[in-house]
Chains A and B, each alone.
Chain A
Amino acid sequence: MEKDQILENLASAIVDGDEDMAIENAKAALGQRMDPLETVESGLSKGMDQIGDQFGKGEVFLPELLMAANAFKAAMEILKPELEAQKMKTAQPGTVLIGTVKGDVHNIGKDIVSTVLETKGFEVVDLGVDNDTLSLIQEADKAKADVIALSCLMTTTMPAQREFIEVLEEMNMRDKYFVIVGGGPVTQEWADEIKADGYGESAVQAPILVKKLLGKS
């Protein structure tokens, strides 16, 4: 198979969420001794950009995005040993730790943000739902997170976002992380009031916001 064809197939495999096709073409790329970094950037990442754009336009939804992310991960498993052997590193714009705050068990909005960030190449550590403040801080330290993203769906769990920022300040750790907030009842005014570093009204704004905070936009 031609090199260009392999790259095209990889991009299509991601857009279609076809894990088998992604694995097959990742293996073909290695068989052809293609540059693994180029395979990622001109094949897999290109597909991720396409599916991310389609999601932003409302043409596809969370299931398609998740399938694309899974196909991407499967292909990366094949390419990773070669990337490591050649001491190559894919561009990784930053690590985001994400979770819903204490008392909030609603995960869908958070899951969408998490997946959108992954499709844009971020390392995402997803702590799931109902996280107390100190656990979030401990996990952020372990993950060496650059950004902490806090989600909530209920007005009665919004105060936990404020509490998180206040505790970071109390522990003299406020400058260590960017803290961004989101969720159904959350607004820009609320983010400003609690001194969060950023807010996104919808999931598609998350990668733009994080890149901006990390000075990579």
Chain B
Amino acid sequence: MLNFLDVYERALKGPLMTEQDFDLKVFIPTLRKVVKEYGIVYDPENPIPSDDTAADNLFEAAVDFLSQVGIYCQDTNRVIQFSKDEVTKVVQEASGRCFAGEDKEAGVFGMRAPDDGKIPWLHVGSGIVASNEEMMSNLIESYGTIAEANSISISALDNIRGIPISAGSPAEMYAAIRGVKIGREALRRAGRPGLPIMNLISTAAAAVTTIAASAPQFGLRSTDGWLVGAISEMKIDFGAMNKTAYLLNWGANIGAETAPILGGYCGGPDGTAVVSTAYILMGLLIQKGNYQLTFPVHFQHGCSTTRDVLWVVSSSCQAASRNTPMPVIWLGYMAGGPNTKSYFYESAAYLLSAVTSGAPAVQTPHPAKAIKVDGITPMEARFGVEMAGAAAQLSREQASELVNQLLEKYESQIPTASSGSTYQECYDEITGKPGVEYISLFNDVKEELAEMGVPFK
């Protein structure tokens, strides 16, 4: 087994090159070659393919690609390389399980297969920025009251005592500590103190902030989950590696976080599918994750629900779920915001794609590209868990047909999608209840989807 210090040594001794040479002379040409050699072809007519052989071929392409390209370390300007045998070995050694939560909320987050009837692990909530502590607290308490929720993401704070939060600043340190305390307290208020928080530390960009706010006196436990982000594409830095070093020493859950960008260095959907699959392997090798959070996005629209990104999600989810024992949380960014029909159509399409493709876990999809302050409500989370449950009853083929119908409804509106309402605009801030208008929209869309054939319970 390659341990983390072995990986670190390779970051010190691997081939030296500039980042630009890595992007232009290694990453791009190797990816193009691998896509051609393995015959990876995007099929726009079929956003959710049902071909297991193609999924396994994509996995082989990803192994080959990763072993040829490696991971670039921005702090040493060296490439961390792995042989094909080492990549295969790390897959064989992976447990495919993540133990999360405490007491009656303790659970094992494991694998699923494509067309699996089992409901995925339901990860509820988001790290979308909240403008004030009370609103953040209400939001998390509401997430906690969703009975189906297996784990939670908590918001990031926008400010502390009115001081804007900058990456790596003392304000960030204060807000990160305050954020985890609010998160744990809100879950206690919901009656579920053991529920794992798995997007730690949401209000921390700098490694030093993550590590400091993780001290147990602030309320976190090793059965929560910390995100250690890769830098797109196929890069890492000492900040992320320091987080891994700390969490490994503690024995806490590590979530390898990745966001392949369609249209960037990955090129089109074919190349992005290879990279998206390779990232799951990278999560095992570099971040030493025992779970993963991934959210492929479109370079121009910033969302995960264009036809080509949905195909990437489905293809790489199938490739990984069939071949890599890594419990991955699949997360989608929607172009539409809260209180819009478009959000629900997109959310349904994303969850149909991920769940039927074997996603071990899904996160409730993020509205408005996850960039609108206070731009999320518990209603989207409620829809997400119901939709994921319904999707688990469908096959890939049935889901693909539904996704094509949904794309007809929202695809052309993506470039101009409304970012929707804020929490304050469609929820009562005191009672934490949704307004009548939003409830009505929610029910109308569910009815429409049920008529299309979505089997809500």
Indicate which residue in A63, A70, A154 contacts B167 across the interface (CB closer than 8 Å): A154
Query: B14-39: which residues lie under 8 A (CB-CB) from chain A?
Result: 19, 23-24, 28, 32
Indicate which residue in B129, B168, B172, B263 contacts A61 across the interface (CB closer than 8 Å): B263
The answer on a CB contact under 8 Å between B265 and A108 is yes
Decide: A103 near B371, CB < 8 A? Known: A108-B264, A112-B264, A184-B302.
no
A62 to B271, CA, bound (A): 12
Indicate which residue in A105, A159, A184, A204 contacts B166 across the interface (CB closer than 8 Å): A159
The answer on a CB contact under 8 Å between A61 and B166 is no
A70 to B25, CA, bound (A): 12
B237, CB-defined interface residue at 8 Å: yes
CB distance from A25 to the nearest CB of B (A): 22
The answer on a CB contact under 8 Å between A187 and B371 is yes
A105 CB contacts on chain B under 8 angstroms: 74, 231, 237
A177 to B426, CA, bound (A): 41
B268 CB contacts on chain A under 8 angstroms: 61
B205, CB-defined interface residue at 8 Å: yes
Query: B184-215: which residues lie under 8 A (CB-CB) from chain A?
Result: 203, 205-206
Decide: A202 near B300, CB < 8 A? Known: A63-B28, A103-B206, A154-B205.
yes
A154 to B172, CA, bound (A): 13
B167 CB contacts on chain A under 8 angstroms: 102-104, 154, 156-157, 160
A112 CB contacts on chain B under 8 angstroms: 263-264, 299
A156 to B176, CA, bound (A): 12
Is chain B's binding surface mostly helix, strand, loop or mixed?
A: loop
A103 to B165, CA, bound (A): 12
Contact with B along A176-194 (1 / 0, CB 8 A): 0000000011010000000
A121, CB-defined interface residue at 8 Å: no
B156 CB contacts on chain A under 8 angstroms: 155-156
B158, CB-defined interface residue at 8 Å: yes
A28, CB-defined interface residue at 8 Å: no
B64, CB-defined interface residue at 8 Å: no
The answer on a CB contact under 8 Å between A103 and B264 is no
Decide: A108 near B299, CB < 8 A? Known: A103-B166, A157-B166.
yes
Indicate which residue in A103, A128, A159, A184 contacts B164 across the interface (CB closer than 8 Å): A159
A73 CB contacts on chain B under 8 angstroms: none
B261, CB-defined interface residue at 8 Å: yes
A70 CB contacts on chain B under 8 angstroms: 24
Decide: A62 near B172, CB < 8 A? Known: A103-B167, A157-B166, A185-B371.
no
List the A residue with the shortest CB-CB distance to B300. Answer: A202
The answer on a CB contact under 8 Å between B267 and A156 is no
B288, CB-defined interface residue at 8 Å: no
B88 CB contacts on chain A under 8 angstroms: none
The answer on a CB contact under 8 Å between A157 and B371 is no
Indicate which residue in B205, B264, B299, B373 contacts A156 across the interface (CB closer than 8 Å): B205
List the B residue with the shortest CB-CB distance to A187. Answer: B371
A66, CB-defined interface residue at 8 Å: yes
A105 to B373, CA, bound (A): 22
The answer on a CB contact under 8 Å between A108 and B232 is yes
Query: A90-105: which residues lie under 8 A (CB-CB) from chain B?
Result: 102-105
B233, CB-defined interface residue at 8 Å: yes
A184 CB contacts on chain B under 8 angstroms: 302, 369, 371
Contact with A along B237-262 (1 / 0, CB 8 A): 10000000000000000000000011
The answer on a CB contact under 8 Å between A108 and B261 is yes
The answer on a CB contact under 8 Å between A63 and B300 is no
Contact with A along B149-175 (1 / 0, CB 8 A): 000000010100000111110001000
The answer on a CB contact under 8 Å between B261 and A63 is no
A159 CB contacts on chain B under 8 angstroms: 164-166
Query: A143-190: which residues lie under 8 A (CB-CB) from chain B?
Result: 154-157, 159-160, 184-185, 187
Decide: A58 near B267, CB < 8 A? Known: A105-B237, A108-B232, A156-B167.
no
A156 to B206, CA, bound (A): 10
CB distance from B175 to the nearest CB of A (A): 9
CB distance from B279 to the nearest CB of A (A): 14
A198, CB-defined interface residue at 8 Å: no
List the B residue with the shortest CB-CB distance to A62. Answer: B264
B262 CB contacts on chain A under 8 angstroms: 61
B271 CB contacts on chain A under 8 angstroms: 63
List the B residue with the shortest CB-CB distance to A66. Answer: B24
Question: What are 8 A-B pairs with beta-carbon distances under 8 A?
Answer: A62-B265, A62-B299, A70-B24, A107-B19, A111-B265, A112-B299, A155-B373, A156-B203
Q: Besides A63-B28, A66-B28, 17 other CB < 8 A contacts?
A: A58-B300, A61-B263, A61-B266, A62-B263, A62-B264, A62-B299, A105-B231, A108-B299, A109-B299, A156-B165, A156-B167, A156-B205, A157-B205, A159-B165, A185-B371, A202-B301, A203-B300
